[in-house]
Amino acid sequence: MERDVIDLDGAMGGGQVLRSGLSLSMVTGRFTTPGMTEHLYSNIRVIESFLPLRITCTTAADGVLHVECRA
């Protein structure tokens, strides 16, 4: 099933909180963000430790981080 992609283009501060909320609320899906933060990294590790999910992060040629969550 194809999901919509949410682009958080360069959002700082509130964008970081939004990325956290998205990562915590999505069961499967994907989003893009300007880059990895310690906050996002720790959320990914917490989510993976409690749920049977795999979250992958890939940096594109333009530097945008693609985050994908699969069950």
Q: Give the residue numbers spanning the domain of 45.
A: 6-70
Q: Is residue 17 part of a domain?
A: yes
Q: Is residue 50 part of a domain?
A: yes
Known catalytic residue at 39 = yes
Active-site entry in 39, 45, 54, 70: 39
Q: Is residue 22 part of a domain?
A: yes
- The answer to whether 39 touches 13, Cβ cutoff 8 Å, is no
CATH number assigned to the domain comprising residue 57: 3.30.110
Number of domains comprising the chain: 1
Q: Is residue 44 part of a domain?
A: yes
Q: Is residue 10 part of a domain?
A: yes
Kindly report, residue by residue over 7-66, the tens digit of the pLDDT.
554 444 455 555 655 555 556 688 888 999 998 899 899 888 888 889 999 999 999 999
Residue-level pLDDT at 47:
84
Question: Model's pTM, two decimal places?
Answer: 0.62
User: Could you give the CA distance from residue 67 to residue 59 in angstroms, rounded to a whole number?
Assistant: 9
CA 39-13-30 angle, 5° bins = 60
Q: Is residue 1 part of a domain?
A: no
Q: Which of 15, 13, 59, 53 is nearest to 36 (CA)?
A: 59
